[in-house]
Structure 1
Amino acid sequence: MLHSPRTLPALLVGVLLLSLAACGGEQSAGTAPSSAAATKKITVYSGRSEELVKPLLDKFTQASGITVDVRYAATAAMAAQLLEEGERSPADVFFAQDAGALGAVAKKGLFAPLPADVTSRVPETYRARSGEWVGVTARARVLVYNPSKATEQELPASVFELTDPKWKGKVGVAPTNASFQAFVTALRVQHGEDKAKEFLAGLQANEPQIRDGNGPILEEVDAGTMTVGLINHYYLGELAKERGLTPDKLTAKLHFFPGGDTGALVNVAGVGMLKKAAANADAKAFVDYLLGAEAQAYFAEQTFEYPVVAGVTGPAGVPALSELQAPDVDLNDLDELEATITMIKESGLVP
């Protein structure tokens, strides 16, 4: 099975439970320290899964001699824990699944500004205006479809068209998933509260297929038991890798919404350093490593995400990041997710 939900933070614990219901329990792990690394150690709160990033963190330890103690959980849980712990947190670095989570922590004044030699490596689109966090990888929202169920000519030009009765019962969505929540926040930012509520109400009235994450949606679309679904682009590459195939050999195909449609939102996973680590050279070395050629290539080749640093080849089988027609949404504005979670719940998409 393809592992999925990747969940984003809400700022209130009661509202946060909506996201965490799809995420399971928290687990902790760390790389095994070697004698050479015993005196050099950082603590990372990771909203990225252990399966995804541990191989990369091991490479970092081997190359640098710096031990990485990692606490793994959903990005929502990690952000909530940082907000609760405040300046008492043992974390040096927060490696988050989503720009909204990073923004939420930054708004509480917990991050230190990153050095200019870090922020300058990442395009302005994919970093905080304040310099307190930077994107590490980018991912695009897409509509995955089964060509035997819907031809390319029948696909919607806008995500708003999915509320049309022709799509009744045919659309898979994961409303407790991080990326869907960020997409709804982008709707609010780009089109206003009323338009976002109208879309969610129309989607709910159209009897969508509710799933816990992007992975199950993709698998069902590929199997032909679901027509279309809203997911992130990289899941196609991950499923193909699991099956020993190239993405073009899967039945499921990706539809990138054109014309700056909100359905084509490009978000980031990223990193910020806690204030206590502002002068920590080892924490800085970790951030540098994530933005280096080895880590950027790892994400492109192993997780099929887009590198955000120039000079690294992007994932195969999808348009280049520069070719995507992303909406005019500032990722810095995705940090107010509490209202988004409430809106999704009130729409009826989540009980």
Structure 2
Amino acid sequence: MKRTRRAGLVAAVLAVVLAGTVACSGGSDEGGGTGDGDGSLTLYSGRSESLVGPLVEGVDVGVTVTPAYDKKAAQILEEGEHSPADLFFAQDAGELGALAMAGLLEPLPADIVDRVPATYRSESGGWAATSARSRVLLYNPSKVPAADLPAGIDGLLDPRFRGQVGYAPTNPSFKSFVTGLRLIRGDDAARDWLTRFMANEPKAFDGNGPLVKAVDDGTVATGLTNHYYWVQEVEEKGIDAVASRLHFFADGDPGALVNVAGIAVLKSSPNKEKAFDFVRAMFTADNQKYFTTEVGEYAITGDIPIPVAGIPPLLADLHPPTVDLDDLADVAGTERMLTEVGAV
């Protein structure tokens, strides 16, 4: 992202933070966090309880950890330094980027940062990825053979795919894909791609679950999604009971974006050392394996494969486009663009 664009994004995020700080400043001059340094942590989780609840419950750092699920970065931005959260477990790198740009994150210790590949952590050291997922094209071989699938997202604009591509426009993962497209090609080119994509009459779905089902039953031939939705279905039903298959786009294509879930400690936490211990726990071999076996995502550390055939290794075989994941923070700009082109 160009420096001028990033500066504008920082200013917008800070405006939200300042407004939230003013709104929250009436009662107390004390900082945030529910702990007082004596043994409690509050975890805001953007990830659902059904997905990561067992993982969170299994972490023992010697203090009480109280999770609050389905939280968003926007709430922390509004709460500012008065947020009761000590940690934020984010579904998406863009949310962590917004908090980092707002100056709300405590730099992680070097022993944590050094465990995570540079591509999958904040440049400032404010957050680190806990797991990763690749954008893919899900397809039904009975509707379109593998040999006819496009190498990149531009191929989906071909008339032969008219009405045959599913997408989930309100899902954060699709918004992150579009934000990545803006970063890679620029806003004008991204808007042009979206305009042509919409002209090819794609089918909108209310979430990735319905999209995967539609591809499986042949309602649409293909669908833009994340790889782990398919992995979860295969692990539940078995590969022979799943009609769809995965297609990974070519190296460097915007459709090959790898996004992450990640974790951060808030500057306002009064119990930072225990919060850091919680972060460290995310990178144990057992907990990294949890992401591969229970969620279907890629582990960030260690050579832990996803237990489904045909999924390429993250670091060895996947070559996503070069994107600073902090810069995925401009979701508001993406939402405006999606509205402009009639995608939502």
TM-score w.r.t. the length of structure 1 is 0.84
The answer to whether the Cα contact below 8 Å between 2:41 and 2:271 also exists between their aligned partners in 1 is: no
Q: In structure 2, how many angstroms separate the alpha carbons of the residues matched to 1:131 and 1:300?
A: 24
In the other structure, the counterpart of 2:77 is 83
Alignment of 1:130-149 (within 5 A): 130-149=124-143
Query: What residue in structure 1 maps to residue 173 of structure 2?
Result: 179
Q: 1:129 matched to which residue of 2?
A: 123
1:185 & 1:131 partners in 2: Cα distance? 22
Corresponding position of 2:202: 208
CA contact (8 A) 1:41 1:68 kept: yes
Q: What is the distance in 1 between the residues matched to 2:270 and 2:174?
A: 33
319, 323, 331: which is aligned to 2:317? 323
State the secondary structure of the residue aligned to 2:52: helix
SS across alignment from 1:60: coil
CA shift for structure 1 position 195: 0.9
In 2, Cα distance between equivalents of 1:111 and 1:281: 14
The aligned counterpart of 1:196 is 190
**After the TM superposition, which residues 1-351 of structure 1 pair with which residues of structure 2 at under 5 Å, given as runs?**
40-61=39-60, 64-73=61-70, 78-243=72-237, 245=238, 247=239, 249-277=241-269, 280-317=272-309, 318-321=311-314, 322-350=316-344
Q: Is the 8 A contact 2:251 2:318 kept in 1?
A: no
Task: Call closer, same or farther: CA 1:185–1:265 in 2, change over 3 Å.
Answer: same
Letter in 1 for 2:312: P
RMSD: 1.8
| Equivalence for 2:34 | none
State the AA in 1 paired with 2:65. V
Q: Secondary structure at the match of 2:163?
A: coil
Is the 1:305–1:315 Cα contact (8 Å) retained in structure 2? Answer: no
Following TM superposition, by how much is the alpha carbon of 1:279 offset from its aligned partner in structure 2, in angstroms? 5.3
SS at match of 2:251: coil
Q: CA deviation at 1:278?
A: 6.9
Contact 1:306 1:315 in 2 (8 A): no
SS for the counterpart of 1:276 is coil
Match of 1:27 in 2: none
Structure 2 SS opposite 1:52: helix
Partner SS for 1:102: helix
CA contact (8 A) 2:98 2:326 kept: no
Preserved CA contact (<8 Å) 2:256 2:321: yes
Paired residue type of 1:266: V
| Distance in 1 (alpha carbons) for counterparts of 2:305 and 2:159 | 41
Deviation at 1:202, TM superposition (A): 0.8
Partner Cα separation in structure 2 for residue 123 and residue 292 of structure 1: 15
Q: Secondary structure at the match of 2:107?
A: coil
Which consecutive unaligned segments of at least 5 residues does structure 2 have? 1-11, 17-37
Residue-pair matches, total:
309
When the two structures are superposed, what TM-score results if normalisation uses the length of structure 2? 0.86
Per-residue CA deviation, residues 157-206 of structure 1 (Å, 9 max, x unaligned), is 11112122111111000111111111111111111111100111011111
Deviation at 1:271, TM superposition (A): 0.6
How far 1:310 moved relative to its partner?
2.6
